[in-house]
Every structure is written in structure tokens, then in C-alpha cells.
Amino acid sequence: MKKILLCATVDYHFIAFHIPLMKWCKEQGWEVHVAASGTMNLPFVDKQYNISIQRSPLHPKNMQAYKSLKSIICNNDFDIIHCHTPMGGVLTRLAARKARKKGAKVIYTAHGFHFYKGAPIPNWLIYYPVERVLSSITDCLITINCEDYNLSRKHKFSAKQIKHVHGVGVDTNGFKPISKEQKLSLREEFGYSKNDFLLFYAAEFNKNKNQQLLIHAISLLKDKIPHAKLLLAGTGPLLEECKNLAARLGVFDYIDFLGYRDDLSSILPMCDLAVASSLREGLPVNVMEAMACELPVIATLNRGHKELVLNNKTGWVFESDNTKDLASKIIRIAEDKMLIQSFGKKGRQMVQNKYAINKVLEQNISIYKTYMEGLEKREWMAQ
């Protein structure tokens, strides 16, 4: 039986992004192994390894994770090894060098390089040389946005193949628009009125996600949109700091801190506008989910956002240091229901055409089939 090893920093990564592909591998008769930190019960997996991989490159536990990965790979005859996340990509490719020489195919999906146009110089000094060197022991480098794809080709990364896949896929059946009646019913259920103008953002509260920008924008527009409500879903190290900022600016009553939520497919469709304030994105799922629900999007200008948020088509982008521009754009869209509908419909159409789960699955399957068919041909020739 053919074997595939999937590796990432944490096991939740697979629950969030890769279940359809894992299911497809099982349907093809492959044995699926997963290595990541955590003990979640993952579906479509034959064997699961809890390894001590950490996000921080300098964490001492990563050496143990490397040794564990090397042992796992040496003790199994994997045909394909597919790694995700920065540290998952680094440790797995290093651990798979001997297996690759024996014929295993190594695939790495970059969910957004840490070096990019406008990135801090240390990012280029640290992450760029690492990714370039490791590309020489990679059979297929998969990028999820155009900027990363073009950069890796321009800088002549030496992976045997460089492919562009449209993200990780969005469930457009789960995330979808609802009728006016359903919207009013949901708002009543969640404690909002039909006159509230609901803005939504789901993200971990950390420096990169930059929720402080949205809180400052609310302080600028609250008098123009008295029924504005900013819904912030998520937890994280800066949550309390953001709550304190909202209180200091006098907008705490305009913001609902929702905490961790697993019902976003119910919350999003009742909202009017999605906002996104992150400084760096690969290809953000939260934006695609909002677009799938026919919400217009106003987002900071970065490589992931600008690929999805097309100015005057699906929403607007703005410079991340321009709070006044963000506030004025929110006010403008709140005053124009026709614009909300136009941006929303174009956004959902875009997601359905390029970023839906079935579209992304087709792209990944096409890559996998290349290697699977190659393995079958090699076996047939050896007989």
C-alpha cells in the first residue's frame, strides 16, 4: 500500500485546511500518516504522531521534533511527504533528505513566505536564504498567492516544480448569503437590531492581526454611524490590551469581543461588512469566508488581501497606517446599500470560481496525480 506523510506545526492545521485532500488520499487506497504537535482525533488518518514541533525557530524542542521526524521517515517507506507551515516545512524537508534520495517525493506548501514586498529586513536576512536553500531538496513548492509564486520563480528557487494553488479552499455551501428574513432572525437571536451596521473580523489577537487599527477607526466614525457595531471574534495575547484601548477611546459599547467561535457560518451572513487589518497575509481564509457570504470587504493593503479584495469590485484596500481612510471607506459603504450588494455578489462569484474547496482540491489532486502516476509507472517498469 502506498504511504503519504503529512506534517505541520500543529494538528489543528489539518482539521482547518486539509480534510478534503486527506479524504481523497484514503479513497485512492493510500495509507495516510500525520505528524504534528497535538493529540486531536483526525479523520482519514491511519497513523498519527504527536511531535514536539514549535513555531519559534529557536525553540530547543525543535531539535527533538527533527529527530522524531527523521525516525518516523526512516521507519516508514513513504512515497510522498507533504509538509506545511514554516517550521513544519523546514524540519520535515531536512529530515526527509535520505528518503528523497531513495525516491520519496517531497512537497512543501508555503502558506505565505515571511519575506515579501515591504517585509522587515530581518525577515529577508533570515527566512529568504532558508527557503531558497531548502527549495533544492523540494520536488514541488506550492505557493498560495501570486506574489509568492512570482517571487520564487524570479529568484530561481530550485524546487523541481513551482506551482500556484488558490489557497486552502472555502466551503461555499456552509458560508453563503441568507435572505433578509433569515438575517433579521439571526440578528434577533444574537441580540442585534435590524438598524445596526455590523462590521466583522475574525482573527487571533496578536501584533500582526492589528485589531487596534479597527478600534481607532470606530472612534473616528461612531458619530457618523451611531448604530455601528464591530464584532471581533478570536482570542490571543493582545485581547485585554484591545479591550483597554476600546475603553480609553470611549468605544467599548460599539465593540463586541466574541472570543473563540465555531459558528462563524452563522455570524457572518447577518453582518453588513467584513474588515481586515492584518499587516501580513498569505491568502486569508477569513476574507474568503466573508466574500462567500456576499459581504463587501475593506482590508489593509498586503499581498494576500490585494489578491482577493479588488478595488471597486469586491471592496477596497487601504494603507495600514491610514486610519482616516479606513473610517471614511466604512462610512461611504454604510451609506450605499447598492454598493454593498454589488461588491458582495462579485465577491461570492469570485470565491466560487477560484477559491471554493472543490476548485482548490482539483488543483492539489492534479499535483498529487503527477507523482502517484510516476510511482505506478516506476513500479510497472521494475516488474
pLDDT over 70 at 376, yes or no: no
Same-domain status, 36 and 90: yes
User: What does the pLDDT read at residue 381?
Assistant: 46
Report which residue type is found at 187. Answer: R
Q: Is the pLDDT score of 206 beyond 70?
A: yes
* pLDDT the model gives residue 131: 95
Residues 351 and 362 in one domain: no
Residue 155 lies inside a defined structural domain of this protein:
yes
What rounded mean pLDDT belongs to the chain? 94
pLDDT, position 117: 84
pLDDT(379) > 60: no
Residue 332 covered by a domain: yes
Q: Which residue has the higher pLDDT, 380 or 338?
A: 338
- Tally the domains of the chain: 2
User: pLDDT by residue (tens digit) across 13-36?
Assistant: 999 899 999 999 999 999 999 999
My answer on whether 340 and 272 are in the same domain is: yes
Whether residue 375 is predicted with pLDDT greater than 90 in this model: the reply is no
Is 132 part of any domain?
Answer: yes
pLDDT tens digits, 52-97: 999 888 899 999 999 999 999 999 999 999 999 999 999 999 999 9
My answer on whether 152 and 230 are in the same domain is no
pLDDT > 80? residue 382: no
160 and 267 inside one domain: no
* pLDDT value of residue 311: 96
**How would residue 383 be classed by pLDDT, with cut points 50, 70 and 90?**
very low
Claim to verify: residue 203 and residue 116 sit in the same structural domain: no
- Asked if residue 175 is part of any domain, the answer here is no
Each residue of 116-148: pLDDT tens digit? 888 889 989 989 999 999 999 999 999 999 999
Share of the chain above pLDDT 90, in %: 91
Q: What is the pLDDT of residue 183?
A: 96
pTM of the model as a whole: 0.91
Q: Are residues 376 and 298 in the same domain?
A: no
Distances (CA, A) of 366 to 20, 21, 150, 261, 287: 14, 11, 20, 34, 26
Q: How confident is the model at residue 374 (pLDDT cuts 50, 70, 90)?
A: low
Residues above pLDDT 70, as percent of the chain: 97
CA–CA gap between residue 168 and residue 243 (Å, rounded): 32
Same domain, 332 and 212: yes
188 found inside a domain: yes
- CATH assignment at residue 51: 3.40.50.2000
Residue 314 and residue 198 share a domain: yes
pLDDT at 327 over 70: yes
Residue 39: other Cβ atoms inside 10 A = 9
Q: How confident is the model at residue 181 (pLDDT cuts 50, 70, 90)?
A: very high
Of 199, 209, 215, residue with least CA distance to 315: 199
**pLDDT tens per residue, range 243-283:** 999 999 999 999 999 999 999 999 999 999 999 999 999 99
Residue 44 pLDDT > 50, yes or no? yes
Q: Which three cell numbers stand for residue 184?
A: 433579521
109-113, 156-160, 373-377: the lowest-pLDDT one:
373-377
Judge if 162 and 225 occupy the same domain.
no
Where in the sequence is the domain holding 88, given as residue range(s)?
A: 3-169+357-382
